[in-house]
Each structure stands twice: as structure tokens, then as C-alpha cells.
């Protein structure tokens, strides 16, 4: 599945939507659906949904932007398409942009939330980060911490990191990085909120393997293990914003870029100093 935007409206009214938990404390709900007839299976996700006001968020657009960002940085991740579609939620027809992704499990693999796997396999007194390092996943975790700083991911709980196991082959690996909806300016819905948003403020986050501070989580990465990423350049702005006109406001596009660019500069400076 290529990272792209499908602007032509698709009829997805046949999908059945189910509620998933929102651990962010925000109003509304996050609905998911699957299309089992597609091979590989396709997973669909809506932005924040309110039963009275309909789609009130732009989390699906965040998924696409961050997908593009991780392509640039050279970090393995789950790919998303952004699709213009008509859907049916509880008998109500809604026109929206949603995101779709393919199943990342290989044949024979089963997924386990990292927090659940940690609880069954940890050593006495071992922290989640120490557990990941012991299992050889330090590079994955350190890249994830950098990504979550760059986009200010507020919701990297233990089920938003997954382990893929194949019992027959006796293999285990980390799933590609996924689920970045509650990032960037996800909780800004008016132009005034967007313009007043401090893109460098270190807001409280949820991070299973780290602390409540995305900025302090960078300090958990050893000096000699700072991820070497493909550099982000100002010219990449157009690539991140391509096709978003008419989907999210221009002021939101600009502030998202300001956030990513300023945080990238902070990370580059941190790497040079350490």
C-alpha cells in the first residue's frame, strides 16, 4: 500500500464500526472497522467522532503526515492511506476522510501488546525500557522515542507498541511503529487554538517505556546510540503537505510544519552536543 490520498469519494457504507478506547481523556470516540474480504486484511480508522457533531478531529490526517515524515527519516513503520469516503455510523451517513492500513502480521504471527508481554516475561525489578533493551529492541525503542518527540505523541501506551510472535518458528519481533493520531495539534479545532499552540512546549504524554515527558525521554537514549536518521530538510515541507488543501486548514498545515521542523532542529542540536 503506497502512502497516498484518495480524493475521489468511496462508498464504504458497508463497513461496521466499533468503539475503541480513548486513553487521551478527550471528548468523543475513536471508531475502527476491518474489511476481511480484502487480502491482506484492511483496517480502517476514523478521526475523533462525536455522536451529535459527527467527525470532530483530524487524527487520520496526522497519520498520513507522520507516515510521510517517517518515510523521509527512513524509519520502519505502518503505512496509511487517507481516503475520502461516505460511511454509515449508527444509521447516519457521514462524508469524511478516514485512514486505512494493511495487516502487518506475517503468516503464522500473532500480535501481543508490549505491556502484556512485559508482565509475563519481565525479570524482577526490570523496567519496560530495560526489558526492551535485554530483548534486543533498543534501536526500535530509541527511534520510537525520537519520533514521539518530533510529533509530540501523547498516547504511546503499552498496547500502542506490539510484539509479533510465531510459535512454530519460535521467532519474535517488534511490530512496525504505528498509531500516531493523538499527536501534533490533534486537540486544536479553531484557528485561534492553532495560532496559540506552542509547538515546543513539553506537554504531558503517555509513554509505556519512558516518562511523562517526550523531551526527557530523549535523555534515556545513550549518547552513542542516538538514532542516525535521514536528515529532514526545509524542502520536505511540500512533501508533507502535498494534497492536504481542502482537507485541513492552511493555518493548521503551517503550524504542523513549524512543530515538526523546530523539534527536528532541537533533536539535531541535541545529537551534536552529546
To the nearest 10°, report the CA torsion of 236, 242, 246, 251.
0
Say if residue 131 is in the same domain as residue 90. no
Q: Are residues 262 and 212 in the same domain?
A: yes
Shared domain for 87 and 145, answered yes or no, is no
Residue 195 has pLDDT above 60, yes or no: yes
Q: Is the pTM of this model over 0.85?
A: yes
Specify the residue for cell string 492500513: 101
Please check whether residues 252 and 199 belong to one and the same domain.
Answer: yes
Q: Which domain holds residue 56?
A: 5-102
Say if residue 56 is in the same domain as residue 158.
no
CA distance 139 to 144: 9
Read off the pLDDT of residues 93-147 as tens digits, 9 standing for 90 and up. Answer: 999 999 999 999 989 999 999 999 999 999 999 999 999 999 999 999 999 999 9
Beta carbons of 82 and 62 less than 8 angstroms apart: no
Q: Which three cell numbers stand for residue 108?
A: 503464522
Q: Are 172 and 165 in contact (CB under 8 A)?
A: yes
Q: Is the same domain home to 119 and 74?
A: no
Last residue of a domain, one of 84, 102, 120: 102
Q: 21 and 149 share a domain?
A: no
Q: How far is CA 242 from CA 78, 194, 250, 253, in A?
A: 19, 20, 12, 10
Nearest to residue 47, comparing CAs of 100, 108, 107, 111? 100
Residue 196 sits in a domain whose CATH number is 1.10.1070
Under the banding of pLDDT at 50, 70 and 90, the label for residue 29 is: confident
How many domains does the chain fold into?
2
Give yes or no: residues 65 and 190 share one domain: no
**Among residues 102, 128, 146, which one ends one of the domains?**
102
Same domain, 44 and 122: no
pLDDT band at 19 (very low <50, low <70, confident <90, very high): low
Mean pLDDT of 42-54: 92
Give the tens place of pLDDT for each residue, 204-251: 999 999 999 999 999 999 999 999 999 999 999 999 999 999 999 999
* Confidence label for 23 from pLDDT (cuts 50, 70 and 90): very low
Where is the domain boundary, 102, 137, 155?
Answer: 102
Kindly tell me if the per-residue pLDDT of 150 is higher than 90.
yes
**Whole-number percent of the chain with pLDDT over 90:** 87
- Assess whether 96 and 119 both reside in one domain: no
Q: Are residues 94 and 159 in the same domain?
A: no
Task: Give the pLDDT band (50/70/90) at residue 27.
Answer: very low
pLDDT, residue 152, reads 98
117 and 92, same structural domain? no
Can you tell me which residue has the cell 475502527? 32
Amino acid at each position: 500500500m503506497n502512502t497516498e490520498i484518495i480524493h475521489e469519494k468511496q462508498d464504504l457504507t458497508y463497513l461496521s464500526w466499533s468503539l475503541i478506547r480513548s486513553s487521551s481523556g478527550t471528548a468523543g470516540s475513536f471508531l475502527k472497522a476491518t474489511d476481511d474480504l480484502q487480502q491482506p486484511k484492511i483496517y480502517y480508522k476514523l478521526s475523533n467522532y462525536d455522536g451529535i457533531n459527527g467527525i470532530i478531529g483530524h487524527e487520520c490526517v496526522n497519520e498520513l503526515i507522520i507516515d510521510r515524515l517517517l518515510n523521509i527519516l527512513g524509519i520502519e513503520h505502518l503505512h496509511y492511506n487517507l481516503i475520502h469516503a461516505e460511511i454509515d455510523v449508527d444509521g447516519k451517513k457521514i462524508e469524511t476522510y478516514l485512514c486505512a492500513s494493511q495487516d502487518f502480521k506475517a503468516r503464522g504471527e500473532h500480535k501481543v501488546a508490549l505491556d502484556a508481554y512485559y508482565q509475563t516475561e519481565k525479570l524482577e525489578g526490570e523496567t519496560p525500557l530495560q526489558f526492551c533493551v535485554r530483548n534486543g529492541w533498543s534501536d526500535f525503542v530509541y527511534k520510537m522515542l525520537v519520533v514521539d518527540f518530533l510529533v509530540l505523541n501523547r498516547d504511546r501506551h503499552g498496547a500502542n507498541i506490539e510484539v509479533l510472535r510465531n510459535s512454530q518458528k519460535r521467532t519474535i519481533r517488534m511490530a512496525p511503529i504505528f498509531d500516531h493520531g493523538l499527536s501534533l495539534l490533534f486537540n486544536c479545532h479553531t484557528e485561534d487554538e492553532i495560532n496559540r499552540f506552542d509547538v515546543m512546549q513539553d506537554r504531558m504524554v503517555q509513554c509505556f517505556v519512558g516518562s511523562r515527558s517526550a523531551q526527557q525521554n530523549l535523555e534515556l537514549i545513550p549518547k552513542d546510540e542516538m538514532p542516525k536518521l535521514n536528515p529532514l530538510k526545509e524542502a520536505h515541507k511540500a512533501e508533507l503537505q502535498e494534497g492536504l488543501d481542502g482537507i485541513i486548514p492552511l493555518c493548521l498545515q503551517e503550524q504542523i510544519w513549524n512543530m515538526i521542523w523546530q523539534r527536528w532542529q532541537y533533536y539535531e542540536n541535541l545529537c551534536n552536543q552529546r
